[in-house]
Homo-oligomer: A and B are copies of this chain.
């Protein structure tokens, strides 16, 4: 489902990332898991350490910090929409976006909502924001905040997930102001038959016959990604009459280095075309890996960029 309407143009004007306050290293003593093999973990998934939320730091705190920093860098921003993407809200009721709206002191004439999405949350959130911006056709900006504290849902003894996920937030500003990256195209795919492959048991209202916390079927997800992501990319390129070689950067969801490297290999990408930043960030879920911003023209904007 492409966004066939292309007017008005919408731009990603800037982005800020705030990592969790603590750093957790992937060695056995830091993890408290005696048989965790640091060298093997680093070789396999490419993650040496990850940011983790502080003891009193929740998703709304990370989300607020990132959006506060973004707005401090642009005090004139008139926010017309605030969307928070999270799977680890402070509460089921109300949404994290409500708390952030209140803490930022934003105007009442504002569209405020939470969305729930994991790895694809920046892309789907962007698609929503762009649709809203086009529908509004106003001078106002939209903020997309991606914030998660998966550490609250990880099972401490599950080394396969512990070593991957980090806690962080990004705040991104979108508007029709021609500054930053212009949104060109998006097409989303979904397969709900894979529901069981990644579940946080006993995390909301359904009681499960399993220990509480995140259960990941790593090989099912890996096979799904390797089967479906290259096809999705080829469809996107075909829709736009482009070839792999014409694309400067493919910014994959930073699942882990093993996954991004396999995807790059399957698509025939050079190392330069498929950068990763897992090493000291891990997989921070839907947060866009904006560290890459430094190397491209986003840097020319006035946004505070981490």
Interface positions of A from 185 to 200, Cβ below 8 Å from B: 187-195, 198-200
CB distance from A153 to the nearest CB of B (A): 7
A111 close to B (CB within 8 Å): yes
**Max chain B C-beta neighbours (<10 A), residue from A89, A102, A138, A206:** A206
**Max chain B C-beta neighbours (<10 A), residue from A97, A114, A192, A193:** A192
Interface positions of A from 1 to 26, Cβ below 8 Å from B: 1-5
**Within 8 Å CB of A124, what residues of B?**
111, 113
Q: How far is the CA of A300 from the CA of B279 in the complex (A)?
A: 59
CB distance from A220 to the nearest CB of B (A): 13
**Within 8 Å CB of A206, what residues of B?**
58, 90-91
Q: How far is the CA of A99 from the CA of B206 in the complex (A)?
A: 13
Does B108 contact A95, Cβ atoms closer than 8 Å?
Answer: no
**Within 8 Å CB of A128, what residues of B?**
113, 128, 131-132
Does B92 contact A203, Cβ atoms closer than 8 Å?
Answer: yes
A101 close to B (CB within 8 Å): yes
Contact of A117 among B2, B58, B87, B113 (CB under 8 A): B113
Does A102 contact B193, Cβ atoms closer than 8 Å?
Answer: yes
Does A204 contact B106, Cβ atoms closer than 8 Å?
Answer: no
